[in-house]
Amino acid sequence: SAVISQKPSRDICQRGTSLTIQCQVDSQVTMMFWYRQQPGQSLTLIATANQGSEATYESGFVIDKFPISRPNLTFSTLTVSNMSPEDSSIYLCSARQGGDNEQFFGPGTRLTVL
Amino acid sequence: KNEVEQSPQNLTAQEGEFITINCSYSVGISALHWLQQHPGGGIVSLFMLSSGKKKHGRLIATINIQEKHSSLHITASHPRDSAVYICAAYHRLWETSGSRLTFGEGTQLTVNP
């Protein structure tokens, strides 16, 4: 199994600012993902973080709003840019070792935008 | 229509009761994952199964591939079981030999003492 940590665990931010969330996995993984969970809803995939190349974004999410880095096989960052109250959500990092293996989730970052 | 449907959306039980949460999916999958999410937001993996039944402590998960249906059972429920339970299906992506995870809406379980 993989243990995933995220920083920060929560933050309250002002409209128009940006926040970078860090995700650290305790072992090398082939796949890392970023999800958003809006209040009362299920998880929505933002993008797949690719090591050494640009992330693969899902429909409705763009790089300018959610830039992602993945410099190695254990670490990734997600930035929420030019935030608005609609960005208030839990952001979850997730990782999987290989295509069909079990997927693990981080503790989440609870973001509130005022 | 979501590819993964859960029922019920909300469930309230008394301590000690037997709990069942259901999950159905519309297309073939390679595996199904039951997850638990506590109010803080973190998600814990309970079971990943592709056939039959798995048991861990008071939790039991079953899956019927032909009927495209899975259930999560909690025996002798306890207030600490109160959480959101999410089922997630691994849909195979033939073009990449990998799989895509699709989530149900979750079941909010409250167990009262």
pLDDT of residue B92 exceeding 80: no
Mean pLDDT calculated for residue range B60-89: 96
Closest partner CB to A100 (pick from B86, B90, B106): B90
Find chain B residues with C-beta within 8 A of A98's C-beta: 98
Cα–Cα distance, A37 to A25 (Å, whole number): 20
Residue B95's pLDDT is: 58
Q: How does residue B42 score in pLDDT terms, banded at 50, 70 and 90?
A: confident
Closest partner CB to B48 (pick from A90, A102, A109): A102
The token pair that represents B110 in the structure block: 């409250």
| Closest residue on chain B to A5 (Cα) | B42
- 3-state SS track over chain A: CCCEEEECCEEEECCCCCEEEEEEECCCCCEEEEEEECCCCCEEEEEEECCCCCCEECCCCCCCCCCEECCCCCEEEEEECCCCHHHCEEEEEEEECCCCCCEEECCCEEEEEC
- Which of helix, strand or coil describes residue B11? strand
**Chain B interface mutation, best of A105, A109, A110, A111, highest count of B Cβ atoms under 10 Å:** A105
Cα–Cα distance, B83 to A19 (Å, whole number): 28
pLDDT of residue B28 exceeding 90: no
